[in-house]
Structure 1
Amino acid sequence: MGTLSKLRRMVLRENVSVREAARRLRISRNTAAKWLNESQMVEPRYPQRAAVPSLLDPYREQLANWLKADSYRGKHERRSVRAYFEAIRAMGFTGSKNLVYGFCSNWRQEQANVPRNAGFVPLSFELGEAFQFDWSCEYVVIGGLRKRLEVAHTKLAASRAFVLVAYFTQSHEMLFDAHNKAFEVFGGVPKRGIYDNMRTAVDKVGKGKERSVNARFESMTGHYLFEAEFCNRAAGWEKGRVEKNVQDRRRHIWREAAEKRWTSLAELNDWLLQACQDSWAELSHPDWPELTVADVMQDERSRLMALPKAFDGYVEQPLRVTSTALIHFQRNRYSVPCEWVNTVVSLRAYPEFLRVVDSHGEVVDLVRSFERDQTFYDWRHYISLIERKPGALRNGAPFKTMPEPLQELQRQLLKNAGGDRVMAQVLSAIPMHGLDTVLVAIEIALEGGRASAEHVINTLARLKDGARPLAVLQIDTPLTLQTPPLANVSRYDSLRTQEARHVQ
């Protein structure tokens, strides 16, 4: 078509002869004359070239079947083109491998050009009607180490306001906490929530829209009074707004977050919340370009249901306390009071801490760790056990984490015989008087150079009683002296004289 256009310009506009134009365009003069005789500019048609038989023709169907079957396998399980070539050569193929490579390349190109879906229907949501939720995987540096984070994306479908919260895992307690924080930022709860078929929400996917919903997830939806709606399988477009939010935030917020260094996950989440709210004020709303997302968010906030009390989103499981007063949770070990040894306790997992409840209702909160194969002791959990077994103080692993004043007192007491029992007496005073008061008493005893249990306990008694010197005491009395006493040393001398005479 381009050659015909050039020919017509050269002959009809530039007055170049047909022979010269054909020479310049390297076409036949008869062909040029035939094209110019056409009344309209019509694309030239060439006769169909007869198909030449190929040695690959008997094997084309087999190769196509192999390629189609491998397209459903994982990337690392697919066969190479060389494997196809060796397979059909064993079947009798005598041609070169270039024919096989060319066929496979053309087949894959044809499949890539085939339309994947018939199309999509644009969706529209009313203010306060729905929100969409999804997870994404991101990487940042926290505490000097590169960490993998699971990020919860919650986006209002109408105003496009979004909230990002990062966690170390995708467990139930993280899911519930993400909803608590998102609803708190939004200032209310929409009518519906749109999800994919994530394991923390759906136990089993049935036919069509049938879902077996997780009991704890159902409790959360009942608490916040919104309807949970789950997408069809492999139909991410049904929550396309939060899917697009994942890609947009990677190019914007997470690109900036990856360049920074964070001391803790809490610091990162505080920065993420501020970054999200700043983005609301900068992004234009797609339906109303003259308004920002923050402007539309103000209107949608008035359409949301009032926010109830935050959902207590813990995950509970029973655990047995070992003989060393430890519980095992997610490949880590945590100490609990030694009085709970060999009993079954209830562990309630929260995103930031673990709450352990015994059969009598006593509660102990532990700092949660997402590392692996770690042991976390609280030496105060073993004080009552040390009263019965003071000899374990010398090499007890939990007591290596005591404050420095206690460790210094222990070093001095263990130099003497029976020092472990004396140290056990000091530790037994902590539940009664409090750790801070005992530490002050120990520091006073160490300064005086008399490190003993009696001195520490005596100091504790004086600190608790608040004793003051007699000189500063003021005694109020209604009696007054008419003649105030005067200092008279001569009276003392006269008494000494009288005593001397009496002795004689």
Structure 2
Amino acid sequence: MRVRREHASGKAIKAIARDLHLSRKVVRKAIRAPDADMAYRREVQPLPKLGPFQGQLDTMLEEDEARPRREKLRLTRIHDLLVREGFDGSYDAVRRYAARWRRTRRRDVMNAPAFIPLLFRPGEAYQFDWSHEDVEIAGKPMRVKVAHVRLCASRAMYVQVYPRETQEMLFDAHARAFAFFGGVPTRGIYDNMKTAVTSVFAGKERVFNRRFLVMASHYMVEPTACSPAAGWEKGQVENQVQTARGRFFQPRLRFASIEELNGWLEAECCRWADMHRHPEHKELTVAQAWAAECAVLQPIVAPFDGFHESEHAVSGTCLISFDRNRYSVMAKAVRRTVQVRAYADRIVVRCDGEIVADHPRCFGRDRTIYDPWHYLPVLVTKPGALRNGAPFQGWELPPALAKLRRKLGTGDDADRRFVRVLSAVLDDGLEAVEAAAREALLAGVTSDDIILNILARHREPPRALAIATPEDLMLRHPPRADCNRYDSLRGLHAAA
């Protein structure tokens, strides 16, 4: 500063150098340096000892950078490995080189491509993504699939847990998310997941799955797929995955069932929206921005019937195999081909357009799910199967029928009589048979004949009420006193 000030006042370089005891070269450099930076910078770094081993050290550092955090090597260990290869330099030389190598790598990362911030209008779009999280359900560790949905304008989030990442789970997540948000945006942003996208072409051109397009048409949503390996195109939901993992799923959640876990997650989504400010409109919470966006969302006419359909053959034991488990169907569908509609929480089996089974969905393996009523037509012809038939073990009957079975006792004859009562369900229905059994038990009777008699009496149409007049009560054919008619009935020798 002093050199530049004296030179600006007109003093000669030679005089400045003489007065400040500096060389004229240093004075000229100080005058010409615009930022007065006199620091020395080495342009070439000589590596007399490390030079022959520079390639090996670069390889070690690259491999160590790719290792998990727990497996990374200390620089002392890297120096020891180089010594085994013949390096005779110091540890400080390796440490200084590794520091320069990491600074250079950090500058390369800082030169990453830039992005443009996105702005969405209220009701314009939502983003969807999946993640995998570890939880504990009914005391057992379980890795679940988590569906994430986020409104792009208000930043409202929705999180739902499923055992699978299949298409029916995708449909159910959309139905629940739209019901939670109170409407449907006009556009959906997805990655190239197989349950939505069949083929990926250049640019943004995609072939979407047929059933996925049916769902999008039902909700009047325009689906948009991101570019491959371009997560920043749906950065909001990608950020939501990390937020939910840190705030909701850590430490590990423990619940009795997935349904209970999902109820807790919905409450947490509402709580998060109430507690956090909108990132762009600081005067509003996410919940307030969400309430404003609800007014412009498309209304939900009806939830989409989100099933995945496949065909299966019914075995001779009235069972179908689906998703590594077996389910029973009505006996009328035995040895036939049926259509299985799989939902997120149940399966519905159809045969010629008629529903022949409806079961809660099981996500275990090698389990058999029975409905004893499916086997009732077979049980009528084989009443002995009531004792050892697999579908009838632990059968939860209505209270009146369960009491009737206990009253009848055990044995072949008791089973036969009870099956005779159950067979009436095929014609009269379960409610009517249970009411008849209850009426018989109240009268202190357990006879199958009496119960069937009660059912028959209930089936008879009621007699029409009529007003009887004296004219109606008059006899149209007056009686005749003729005892010979009785003698004729007694036979030929009655008179004798």
Structure 1 match to 2:5: none
Q: Deviations over 1:112-167 (max 9, x none)?
A: 56316232221111222211111222344444444433222211111212222222
Q: What number of residue pairs does the alignment pair up?
A: 432
Q: Aligned AA for 1:172?
A: Q
Q: Residues of 1 paired with 2:231 and 2:387: CA distance?
A: 61
TM-superposed CA distance for 1:227, in Å, is: 1.8
**Corresponding position: 1:389 with 2:369:** no
Tell me if 1:356 matches 2:336: no
Which position in structure 1 is the counterpart of 2:279? 286
For 2:109, the equivalent position in structure 1 comes to 115
> Partners in 1 of 2:337 and 2:152 — Cα distance?
45
Work out the CA distance in 2 between the residues paired with 1:126 and 1:402.
57
One-letter code aligned to 2:124: E
Task: Call closer, same or farther: CA 1:46–1:321 in 2, change over 3 Å.
Answer: closer
For residue 86 of structure 2, the aligned residue among 69, 83, 94 is 94
Contact between 1:379 and 1:401, CA under 8 Å: does it hold in 2?
Answer: no
The amino acid across from 1:347 in the alignment is V
Look up the SS of the partner of 2:299 in the other structure: coil
Cα deviation, 1:50-78, whole Å, max 9, x if unaligned, reads 73533x64453356457658978999999
Residue aligning to 1:236: 231
Instruction: Pick closer, same or farther for the CA change 1:452–1:71 going to 2, 3 Å.
Output: farther
**CA distance in 2 between partners of 1:352 and 1:173 (Å):** 9
Distance 2:411 2:450 in 1: 16
Instruction: Tell me what 2:245 maps to.
Output: 250
Which residue pairs with 2:493 in the alignment? none
Distance (whole Å) between structure 2 residues aligned to residue 80 and residue 41 of structure 1: 40
Task: Give the drift of 1:311.
Answer: 1.9
Partner of 1:421: 416
Conservation of the 8 A alpha-carbon contact between 2:53 and 2:87: no
Which residue of 191, 197, 221 maps to 1:196? 191
CA RMSD of aligned residues (A): 4.2
2:171 to 164, 176, 181: 176
* Gap change, CA 1:272 and 1:475, over 3 Å in 2: farther
Q: Distance in 1 between matches of 2:394 and 2:97?
A: 66
Aligned pairs (5 A) from 1:478-493: none
* 1:181 counterpart SS class: helix
Displacement of 1:435:
2.8
* 2:204 maps to 1:209: yes
Deviates most, 217-226 or 457-466: 457-466
Q: Which moved more, 1:423-432 or 1:454-463?
A: 454-463
Name the SS for the 1:351 alignment partner.
Answer: coil
- CA 1:112–1:47: 2 relative to 1, 3 Å: closer
Measure the CA separation in 1 of the matches of 2:116 and 2:361: 45
State how 1:311-322 maps to structure 2 within 5 Å.
Answer: 311-322=304-315
Deviation of 1:176 (Å): 1.3
Counterpart position of 1:298: 291
Q: Distance in 2 between matches of 1:226 and 1:434?
A: 44
Query: In the alignment, what sits opposite 1:344?
Result: 337
1:384 CA displacement: 0.2
Alpha-carbon distance in 2 for matches of 1:388, 1:208? 65
Q: Which 10-residue stretch deviates more, 415-424 or 74-83?
A: 74-83
C-alpha change, 1:57 and 1:237, in structure 2 (3 Å) is: same
Residue type matched to 2:115 in 1?
F
Alignment-derived partner of residue 474 in structure 2: none
Deviation at 1:224, TM superposition (A): 2.1
- Note closer, same or farther for the CA distance 1:192–1:79 as it changes in structure 2 (3 Å cut): same
Q: What amino acid is aligned across from residue 423 of structure 2 in structure 1?
A: S
Query: How much does 1:172 deviate?
Result: 0.7
Alignment identity in percent?
39
Mapped partners of 2:449, 2:143: distance in 1: 53
State how far apart, in whole Å, the 2-side matches of 1:224 and 1:398 are: 41
AA in 2 matched with 1:323: G
Give the AA of the match of 1:274. Answer: A
Residue 319 of structure 1 contacts residue 344 of structure 1 at CA under 8 Å; is this kept in 2?
A: yes
> For the structure 1 residues 173 and 360, does the alpha-carbon distance in structure 2 shift closer, same or farther, using more than 3 Å as the test?
closer
Counterpart CA distance in 2 for 1:276 and 1:200 is: 25
Query: 1:344, 1:359 within 8 Å by CA — same for their partners in 2?
Result: no
- Structure 1 388/351 Cα, relative in aligned 2: closer, same or farther at 3 Å? same
Matched, 1:398 2:391: yes
Q: Which residue of the partner structure matches residue 486 of structure 2?
A: none
Scaled by the length of structure 1, the TM-score of the pair is 0.72
* 1:93 Cα offset (Å): 3.5
CA distance in 2, matches of 1:210, 1:74: 37
Distance 1:368 1:171 in 2: 14
Q: Which amino acid aligns with 2:236?
A: R
> CA 1:103–1:430 in structure 2 vs 1: closer, same or farther (change >3 Å)?
farther
Equivalent residue for 2:270? 277
Separation (CA, whole Å) in 2 of partners of 1:208 and 1:80: 44
The alignment status of 1:220 with 2:212, answered yes or no, reads no
1:432 is aligned to 2:432: no
Choose from 42, 55, 61 the match for 1:61: 55
1:390 match: secondary structure: coil
Task: For 1:61, give the aligned amino acid.
Answer: G
Greater Cα offset, 381-390 or 183-192: 183-192
Question: Is contact 2:132-2:145 (8 Å) kept?
Answer: yes
Q: Distance in 2 between matches of 1:208 and 1:68?
A: 33
Q: Does 1:453 align with 2:464?
A: no
Picking from 124, 129, 132, the partner of 1:137 is 132
Closer, same or farther in 2 for the Cα pair 1:414/1:373, shift >3 Å?
same
Higher alpha-carbon deviation: 438-447 or 287-296:
438-447
Partner AA of 2:147 in structure 1: A
Change (3 A) 1:44 1:328: same
| Counterpart Cα distance in 2 of 1:407 and 1:98 | 88
Structure 1 residues 216 and 71: alpha-carbon distance in aligned structure 2, compared to 1, 3 A threshold: farther
Mapped contact 1:327–1:334 kept (Cα < 8 A): yes
Q: For residue 312 of structure 1, what is the amino acid of its counterpart?
A: D
Farther off after superposition, 353-362 or 381-390: 353-362
TM-score, normalised by the number of residues in structure 2: 0.73
Cα 1:356/1:71, change in 2 over 3 Å: farther
Q: Distance in 1 between matches of 2:344 and 2:442?
A: 43
SS at match of 2:357: strand
Q: Distance in 1 between matches of 2:63 and 2:302?
A: 53
1: distance between equivalents of 2:57 and 2:180? 56
